[in-house]
Chains A and B, each alone.
Chain A
Amino acid sequence: MSASVALRRRRGRFRQDGKGWVFVGPFLAVFALTFLAPIGYAIYLSLFRDQAFFGGTVFVGLDNYTEALRDPKFWEAFGRVAVFLVVQVPLMLVLALLAALAIDSARLHAAGFFRIVIFLPYAVPGVVAVLMWGYIYGDNFGLAADLNDLLGTTAIQPLSGSWMLPSIANIVTWEFAGYNMLIFYSALRTVPGELYEAAAIDGAGTFRTIRAVKLPALRGAIVIATIFSIIGSFQLFNEPNILRTLAPNVITTYYTPNMYAYNLSFAGQQFNYSATIAIVMGVITAIIAYVVQLRGSREAL
Chain B
Amino acid sequence: MTTTVDTPRVVKATPRTRKRSATSPLRPKRSPLLTGVMVLYLIYTLVPLVWLFISATKTQNDLLSSPGLWFGQSFAFFDNIKDTLTYNDGIFLRWLGNTVLYVVVGAGGATLLATAAGYGLAKYKFAGRRAVFAVLLGAVAVPGTALAVPTFLMFSNLGLTNTVWAIIIPSLVSPFGLYLMWVYATDAIAVELLEAARIDGAGEVRIFFTVALRLLAPGIVTTLLFAVVSTWNNYFLPLIMLSKPNLYPLTVGLTQWSNQATGVGARPIYNLVITGSLLTIVPLVVAFLLLQRFWQSGLSAGSVK
Binding site for B on A (CB under 8 A): 4, 7-8, 10-11, 13-24, 26-28, 30-31, 33-39, 41-42, 45, 95, 98-99, 102-110, 114, 116-129, 131-136, 140-143, 145-146, 174, 178, 182-183, 186-193, 196-197, 200, 203, 205-207, 220-221, 227, 231, 234-235, 237-238, 242, 245-246, 248, 258, 261-262, 265-266, 271, 274-275, 278-279, 281-282, 285-286, 289-290
Q: Does B97 contact A (CB under 8 A)?
A: no
Across the interface, do B300 and A189 meet the contact criterion of CB distance under 8 Å? yes
Give, as a whole number of angstroms, the nearest-CB distance from A146 to chain B. Answer: 5
Residues of A contacting B125 with CB < 8 Å?
14-16, 20
- Interface hits, B11-55 → A, CB 8 Å: 18, 20-32, 34-35, 37-38, 41-42, 44-49, 51-52, 55
Secondary structure at the B interface, as helix, strand, loop or mixed, is helix
Cβ distance A168 to chain B, nearest Cβ, rounded Å: 14
Of the residues B7, B34, B154, B261, contact of A108 by C-beta under 8 Å: B34
B-chain residues with CB within 8 Å of residue A122 when the two chains form the complex: 229, 288
B258 touches A245 (CB 8 A): yes
Instruction: Please indicate the chain B residues that have their CB under 8 angstroms from the CB of A123 in the complex.
Output: 229, 281, 284-285, 287-288
Q: Is the CB of B31 within 8 A of A108?
A: yes
Q: In the assembled complex, how far is the CB of residue A87 from the closest CB belonging to chain B, in whole angstroms?
A: 18
Whether B141 lies near A238 (C-beta < 8 A) is: no
Q: Given A141-B55, A186-B303, verify A131-B258 contact (CB < 8 Å).
A: yes
Cβ-neighbour of A143 out of B46, B68, B289 (below 8 A)? B68
Answer whether A23 and B235 are a contact pair too, CB < 8 Å, given A41-B153, A200-B25: no
> Is A136 a contact of B68 with CB atoms below 8 Å?
yes
A19-B126, A178-B45 given; 15 more Cβ-contact pairs under 8 Å: A10-B191, A27-B117, A28-B132, A34-B172, A42-B146, A107-B29, A107-B30, A131-B273, A135-B270, A135-B274, A136-B48, A187-B303, A196-B23, A237-B236, A262-B148
- For residue B1, which residue of chain A has the nearest CB? A98
Q: Tell me whether B24 and A10 are in contact (CB under 8 A).
A: no
Q: Which residues of chain A are near B41, meaning CB under 8 Å?
A: 95, 99, 114, 118
With beta carbons under 8 angstroms apart, the residue of A189, A205, A238 that contacts B23 is A189
Closest to B208 in A: A23
Minimum CB distance partner of A280 in chain B? B146
Residue pair B153, A45 in contact (C-beta under 8 Å): yes
3 closest pairs, A vs B, by CB? A23-B120, A20-B124, A14-B125
Residues of A within 8 A of B68 (CB): 136, 141-143, 145-146
CA distance A136 to B270 in the complex (A): 12
> Are B69 and A143 touching (Cβ within 8 A)?
yes
Contact A26 B51 (CB under 8 A): no
Q: Whole-angstrom distance between the alpha carbons of A104 and B34 in the complex?
A: 12
Rounded to whole angstroms, the CA-CA distance of A104 and B281 in the bound complex is 28
In this complex, what residue of A is CB-closest to B158? A33
**B159 — which chain A residues lie within 8 A by C-beta?**
none
Q: In the bound complex, how far is the Cα of B261 from the Cα of A276, in angstroms?
A: 35
Contacts A23-B124, A99-B38 known; A190 to B303 CB distance under 8 Å?
A: yes
Q: Are A132 and B48 also in contact (CB < 8 A) when A141-B64, A143-B69 are? A: yes
Decide yes or no whether B199 CB sits under 8 A from chain A.
Answer: no
Q: Which of B246-266 contact A (CB under 8 A)?
A: 250-252, 254-255, 258-259, 261-262
Q: A4-B187, A107-B2 are in contact. Are A278 and B23 (CB under 8 A)?
A: no
Q: How far is the CB of A253 from chain B (nearest CB, A)?
A: 15
Chain A hits for B201, CB < 8 A:
none
Cβ contacts under 8 Å, A102 to chain B:
1-2, 34, 37-38
Q: Hey, which bits of chain B sit against chain A, CB under 8 A?
A: 1-2, 4-8, 18, 20-32, 34-35, 37-38, 41-42, 44-49, 51-52, 55, 63-64, 67-69, 113-114, 116-117, 119-121, 123-127, 129, 132, 135-136, 138-139, 141-154, 169-170, 172-173, 175, 178, 186-188, 190-192, 204-205, 208, 229, 232-233, 235-236, 240, 250-252, 254-255, 258-259, 261-262, 270, 273-274, 277, 280-281, 284-285, 287-289, 292, 296, 299-300, 302-305
B32: chain A residues within 8 A (beta carbon): 109
State the CA gap A281–B142 with chains docked (Å): 8
CA distance A132 to B113 in the complex (A): 34
Bound state CA distance, A95 and B262, in angstroms?
A: 36
Min CB–CB distance B275 → chain A (angstroms): 12
Q: How far is the CA of A14 from the CA of B69 in the complex (A)?
A: 60
B277 with A278: CB separation less than 8 A: no
**Among the listed B126, B138, B139, B285, which residue makes an inter-chain contact with A21, where contact means beta carbons less than 8 Å apart?**
B126
A189 nearest in chain B by CB position: B300
Bound-state CA distance A192–B144 (Å) is 36
Neighbour of B28 across the interface among A23, A105, A140, A237, CB < 8 A? A105
CB < 8 Å neighbour of A132 from B51, B69, B205:
B51
B300-A190 in contact (CB<8A) = yes
Given A26-B117, A41-B153, A200-B26, the answer on whether A205 and B205 have CB atoms closer than 8 Å is no
CB of B21 to closest CB in A, whole Å:
7
Residue of A at shortest CB range from B122? A11
Q: Are A238 and B236 in contact (CB under 8 A)?
A: yes
What is the bound-complex CA distance between A221 and B299, given in angstroms?
11
C-alpha spacing A245/B262, complex, angstroms: 7
A110–B34 Cα distance when bound, in Å, is 12
B259's contact among A18, A142, A245, by CB below 8 Å, is which? A245
CB neighbours (8 Å) of A99 from chain B are 38, 41
Q: Are A36 and B45 CB-contacts (below 8 A) given A109-B30, A278-B150? A: no
Given A109-B35, A187-B303, A237-B145, check contact A118 B42 (CB 8 Å): yes
